[in-house]
Amino acid sequence: MNDRAEWWDLFLSASGRTARGPFLIVSAALLTFAVVYEATGTTTHLLTGWLIYPPLLFVATCVFSKRLHDRGRSGWWAALVLLSLVAVWPTPKHFWDLLFAGVVLWTIIELGVMPGEQGANRYGPNPLKPVVAV
């Protein structure tokens, strides 16, 4: 993913597939951004949160959907993943949050550790082995 257009597509489109490396880079960047934003602790979070969190969730949805597609899963699972992340952010407080923490743990293993499907699947070609034009 060296081409800028491919990186923008990763941020702004939920279709297609992405490999584990770009997924981990973008996920770490999004998580770091959210942690730094929350750490500022300003009183304007009520106003600025409406400007910060919708684009952050949109980009996260696109990235998670593409990685789920690479694993052969529907991108709609990203809704459960993001709901779980929001529920346990910044720390789990209630009994039900343990269930959401389990979903987050599953997500880390499923998307961050496991490799994508070999070859093409219903979401597109393997991002690690691009199709060579003959």
Which residue ranges make up each domain of the chain?
A: 4-113
- Average pLDDT value for residue range 12-18: 92
Instruction: State how far the alpha carbon of 91 is from the alpha carbons of 2, 97, 101, in Å.
Output: 36, 9, 9
Question: Which residue in this structure is represented by tokens 């998580």?
Answer: 31
Q: Around 61, how many Cα atoms within 13 Å sit in the side-chain half-sphere?
A: 14
Q: What are 26's two structure tokens?
A: 């973008």
pLDDT tens-digit series, residues 82-116: 999 888 887 778 888 888 989 999 999 999 999 99
Confidence tier at 122 by pLDDT (50, 70, 90) = very high
Number of H helices, E strands in the chain: 5, 0
So what's the pLDDT on residue 132? 62
